[in-house]
């Protein structure tokens, strides 16, 4: 039996602000580290879910239908904070990716491809061939 590609196993969560006006999410990673933005340590009891659920370590693919791979952490946090209530997060579990088999170079390249940034792809190959190879 053929397994589904990881990109087909995404999940959507709708999260509302708490009484203090916070979503209670912790974002880690980001393009400045050559990583996808991801959900950091969170306390499930503080998050107000309208739909779905997020977990620590989930990769964030979109915030309110805006793709975020290739964005720096600060910009992803800003996008979430400026969101109307509820915020929509599209995530995928890292366990779905079997992330131990991929190198940071793979994450950087995938980040470039998912953002449809041709300039990023060119910069990636320039860096790879002149500095790594």
> Tell me: the pLDDT tens digits for 71-106?
999 999 999 999 999 999 999 988 655 544 455 555
- The structural domains of the chain, with segments of one domain joined by +, span 9-98
Say what angle helices 104-114 and 118-127 make with each other, to 10 degrees: 160
User: What's this model's pTM, rounded to 2 decimal places?
Assistant: 0.69
> Tell me: the pLDDT tens digits for 25-60?
999 999 988 888 999 999 999 999 999 999 999 999
**CA 49 to CA 20: how far, in whole Å?**
15
Write down the CATH number for the domain with range 9-98: 2.30.42.10
């Amino acid at each position: 039996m053929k397994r589904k590609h990881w990109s087909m196993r995404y999940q959507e969560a709708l999260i509302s602000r708490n009484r203090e006006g916070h979503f209670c999410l912790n974002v880690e990673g980001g393009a400045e580290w050559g990583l996808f933005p991801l959900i950091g340590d969170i306390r499930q009891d503080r998050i107000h879910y309208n739909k779905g659920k997020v977990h620590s370590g989930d990769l964030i693919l979109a915030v309110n239908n805006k793709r975020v791979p290739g964005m720096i952490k600060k910009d992803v946090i800003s996008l979430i904070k400026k969101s109307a209530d509820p915020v929509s997060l599209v995530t995928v579990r890292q366990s779905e990716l079997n992330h131990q088999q991929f190198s940071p170079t793979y994450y950087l390249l995938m980040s470039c491809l998912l953002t449809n940034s041709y300039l990023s792809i060119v910069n990636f190959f320039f860096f790879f061939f002149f500095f790594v190879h």
